[in-house]
Chain A
Amino acid sequence: MTNFDLAVVGGGPAGMAAALKASEEGIEKIVVLERAETLGGILEQCIHTGFGLHYFGEELSGPEYAGRFIKLLEDTNIVVKTDTMVLDIADDNTVTAVNKTDGLLKISAKAVVLAMGCRERPRGALSIAGSRGAGIMTAGTAQKYVNIDGYMPGHEVVILGSGDIGLIMARRMTLEGAKVKMVCELMPYSGGLTRNIVQCLEDFDIPLKLSTTVVATHGKERLEGVTIAKVDEKLQPIPETAEYVPCDTLMLSVGLIPENELSKNAGLTLDRITNGPKVDEYRETEHKGVFACGNVLQVHDLVDYVTEESQIAGLGAAKFIKGEKISGDCIGTNGINGVRYIVPQRINRETDTDVKLYFRVGAVYTNASIVVEANGETILSKKKKKLCPGEMEYVLIKKDVIANLPKDSVITVRVEA
Chain B
Amino acid sequence: MTYDVAVVGAGVVGGLIARELSRFNISVALLEKCNDVAMGTTKANSAIVHGGFDAQNGTLKAELNVKGTALMPKVCEKLHVPFKNNGSLVVAFSDSEMEHIKVLFDRGIKNGVPGLSVIDRDELRRIEPNISEKAVGALLCESAGIVCPYELTIAAVENAVTNGVEFIRNCEVEAIEQGEAYTLKTTAGDITAKFVINAAGNFSDKLASMVGDNSIDLVPRKGEYYLLDKSVGNLAVHTIFQCPNEMGKGILVTPTVDGNLLIGPTAKNIEDKSDTTTTPEGLAEIVEKALKSVPIVSQRNAITSFAGVRAHPVCDDFIIGWCEKSEHFLNVAGVESPGLSAAPAIAVYVREILSEKLNLTEKSSYTETREAPVRFRHMNDEERAELIKKNSAYGRIVCRCETITEGEIIDAIKAPAGARDVDGVKRRTRAGMGRCQGGFCGSKVVEILSRELGVPMNEITKFGGESKIIYERTK
Contact = CB atoms under 8 A, between A and B. Distances in A.
A and B touch in the complex (CB under 8 A): yes
Interface of A: 35, 83, 85, 87, 96, 98-104, 106, 119-120, 122-125, 127, 129-134, 137-138, 140-141, 144-146, 149-155, 176, 215-216, 218, 220-222, 237, 259, 261
17 contacts: A35-B397, A87-B403, A98-B384, A98-B395, A102-B395, A120-B436, A122-B304, A129-B280, A129-B283, A133-B462, A145-B443, A151-B457, A151-B471, A151-B473, A221-B464, A237-B280, A259-B400
B272 to A, nearest CB: 10
Contacts of B389: 103
Contacts of B277: 129-131, 216, 218
Chain B: interface size category: 35 or more
Which of A102, A120, A155, A220 has most B Cβ within 10 Å?
Answer: A220
Contact of B400 (A35, A130, A221): A35
Given A106-B381, A120-B439, A237-B280, 4 more contacts: A130-B279, A151-B457, A221-B463, A221-B464
Given A104-B381, A134-B468, A151-B458, A141 B442 contact: yes
A388 to B, nearest CB: 25
Interface in B428-442: 435-440, 442
Given A130-B278, A146-B474, A155-B471, A125 B302 contact: yes
Nearest to A239: B280
B465 interface: yes
Contact of B396 (A99, A134, A144): A99
Q: Which 6 A-B pairs have the closest CB atoms?
A: A124-B304, A122-B437, A85-B397, A104-B385, A134-B462, A100-B395
Given A87-B403, A127-B283, A151-B458, A176 B474 contact: yes
A139 B288 CA distance: 32
Interface in B271-290: 274, 276-280, 282-283
Interface of B: 227, 274, 276-280, 282-283, 299-300, 302-306, 381, 384-385, 388-389, 392-393, 395-397, 400-401, 403, 435-440, 442-443, 447, 457-458, 461-475
Contacts of A149: 443, 447, 457, 470
Nearest to A106: B381
Which of A83, A120, A133 has most B Cβ within 10 Å?
Answer: A133
Contacts of A144: 443
Contact of A119 (B439, B461, B467): B439
A88 to B, nearest CB: 9
B467 to A, nearest CB: 4
Contact of A261 (B274, B305, B306, B401): B401
Nearest to B432: A122
B396 A83 contact: yes
Contacts of A141: 438-439, 442-443
A198 B470 CA distance: 28
B395 A103 contact: yes
A104 B439 contact: no
Nearest to B436: A119
Contact of A137 (B279, B282, B442): B442
A42 to B, nearest CB: 10
Contacts of A261: 400-401
Given A122-B436, A153-B470, A261-B401, A220 B278 contact: no
B395 A221 contact: no
A151 B472 CA distance: 6
Contacts of A120: 436, 439
Contact of A98 (B397, B400, B462): B397
A150 B395 CA distance: 27
B281 to A, nearest CB: 9
Given A151-B458, A221-B465, A124 B437 contact: yes
A136 B156 CA distance: 31
A150 B474 contact: yes
Nearest to A142: B470
Given A99-B396, A124-B303, A124-B437, A152 B443 contact: no
Contacts of A119: 436, 439-440
B172 to A, nearest CB: 14
Contacts of B300: 125
B400 A222 contact: no
A216 B381 CA distance: 44
A92 to B, nearest CB: 15
A138 B438 CA distance: 9
B471 A101 contact: no
B439 A152 contact: no
B395 A152 contact: no
Contacts of A140: 439
Nearest to B461: A134
Contacts of B276: 131-132
Contact of B474 (A99, A103, A129, A151): A151
B304 A152 contact: no
Contacts of A123: 304, 437
Contact of B303 (A104, A122, A131, A134): A122
A127 B287 CA distance: 12
B442 A100 contact: no
Contacts of B475: 150
Nearest to B228: A124
Contacts of A87: 397, 403
Contacts of B381: 96, 104, 106
Which of B274, B283, B400, B464 has most A Cβ within 10 Å?
Answer: B400
Contacts of A130: 277-279
Nearest to A220: B274
